[in-house]
A = this chain, B = another copy of it.
Amino acid sequence: MTYRIDGLQYANWSEKVFRQMREGGVDAVHVTIAYHETFRETVLNFEAWNRWFDLHPDLITKGQSAKDIDRAKANDQTAIFFGFQNPSPIEDDIGLVEILHTLGARFMQLSYNNQSLLATGCYEAEDPGLTRMGRQVIREMNRVGLVVDMSHSADRSTIEAADASARPITITHANPHSWQPALRNKRDDVIRAVTENGGMMGFSLYPHHLKDKSLCTIEAFSEMIARTAEKFGAEHFGIGSDLCQDQPDSVVEWMRVGRWSKDIDYGEGSASAPGFPPMPEWFEDNRHFGNIEAGLKSQGFDADEVAGLMGGNWYRFFRDNFTPQ
């Protein structure tokens, strides 16, 4: 069995996008449902998804474990797995970790660019590492099967999380800093800490994470994957496209500023380019996963490695890490 799984998307969801997932043969997607939302606001987002599952049973289904991916595949659906890019949904209450896992959450970032109650974000000047609550919450996430995601966290916090966590952690969407020196891309010691503990990284297609940004070629992207796989082992990687399809620019502002600042913060953008950057022409939406698969083949990966990178590695990671210990 081969799988096509995306480690992160945050589209402006619609029947159109769901249909494109089916056209692209996407079996499962990890979908962000909270950036800065409180618990109650996050529950409203679960409610909205319940409505979509009710309206589009022919296209999508709720994913909670890897076997839901096989069920989705058998029924020609895409399995939707939920995650948070910030720990704001648990507020200051460790009991909400299990509650949110029961509702369907499977990934939670310990911080998003800024310092959180748990860990430091990648835009802070100082990174003191995991907080007291951060260590408690990692243990609770391990217990219930909520995966630690450090995509937007700072280096020391990420390495400490990889070491403190009894189960593998992930960076769902980023690329190596050595290839494109964005603050959000990851240095080798960070990638090593995550992968040596059995963790996974998803390669990002968000243009700010790509060499030459929107003009990045599929050849350059595929070659970066080949070099990274050589260094750390192909089995530790997948795709985490960070596709934000059909979102208005007001959403990237919400992602960056939330309610934490009265000033504008451009994140990876700038005053002259504050919005979402255009996607590379070879990956505009879910119908283009075939281009990535072709790119990987042209790098000399064998069939098993290609299948692993396109979804098999995420499948195995989902299978091992979403259930209670």
Q: Which residues of A are at the interface with B, using a C-beta cutoff of 8 A? A: 39-40, 43-44, 46-48, 50-51, 93, 95-96, 98-99, 102-104
Flag if B39 contacts A99 (CB, 8 Å).
no
> Bound complex: CA of A98 vs CA of B44, how far in Å?
11
Q: Are A103 and B99 in contact (CB under 8 A)?
A: yes
Q: For residue A103, which residues in chain B have a CB less than 8 angstroms away from its CB?
A: 99, 102-103
Contact of A96 with B39 at beta-carbon distance under 8 Å, contacts A102-B102, A102-B103, A103-B103 already known: no
How far is the CB of A56 from the nearest CB of chain B, in Å?
16
Q: Which residue of B lies closest to A91 (CB)?
A: B40
Chain B residues within an 8 Å CB radius of A48:
95
Alpha-carbon gap, A165 to B148, bound state (A)? 43
Taking CB atoms, residues of chain B closer than 8 Å to A102 are 102-104
Give 4 A-B pairs besides A44-B95, A46-B99, A102-B104 with Cβ atoms closer than 8 angstroms: A39-B43, A47-B95, A102-B102, A102-B103
A33 to chain B, nearest CB (A): 13
Inter-chain CA distance A50–B140, complex, in Å, is 12
Task: Give Cα A46 to B39, complex, Å.
Answer: 14
Nearest chain-B residue to A47 (Cβ)?
B95
What are the 8 A-B residue pairs with the smallest beta carbon separation, nearest first?
A: A47-B95, A50-B98, A102-B103, A43-B99, A46-B99, A47-B99, A40-B40, A102-B102
- Establish whether residues B40 and A95, one from each chain, have CB atoms under 8 Å apart when the complex forms: no
Query: 22 A–B contact pairs at CB < 8 A?
Result: A39-B40, A39-B43, A40-B40, A43-B96, A43-B99, A44-B95, A46-B99, A47-B93, A47-B95, A47-B96, A47-B98, A47-B99, A48-B95, A50-B95, A50-B98, A50-B99, A51-B95, A99-B103, A102-B102, A102-B103, A102-B104, A103-B103
Q: In the bound complex, how far is the Cα of B39 from the Cα of A281, in angstroms?
A: 46
User: Which residues of B have CB within 8 Å of A39?
Assistant: 40, 43
CA–CA, A104 and B47, complex, Å: 16
Minimum Cβ distance to chain B for residue A188 (Å): 39
Please, which residue of chain B has its CB at the minimum distance from the CB of A98? B50
> What's the Cα separation between A320 and B47 when bound, in Å?
25
**Nearest CB in chain B: distance from A82 CB, A:** 12
Q: Could you tell me the distance in whole angstroms from the C-beta of A255 to the nearest C-beta in chain B?
A: 24
CA A296 to CA B116, docked complex, whole Å: 60
- A43, B126: Cα distance in complex, Å: 35
CB distance from A288 to the nearest CB of B (A): 34
Nearest B residue (CB) for A40: B40
A93 to B40, CA, bound (A): 11
State how many angstroms separate the Cβ of A57 from the closest Cβ of chain B.
12
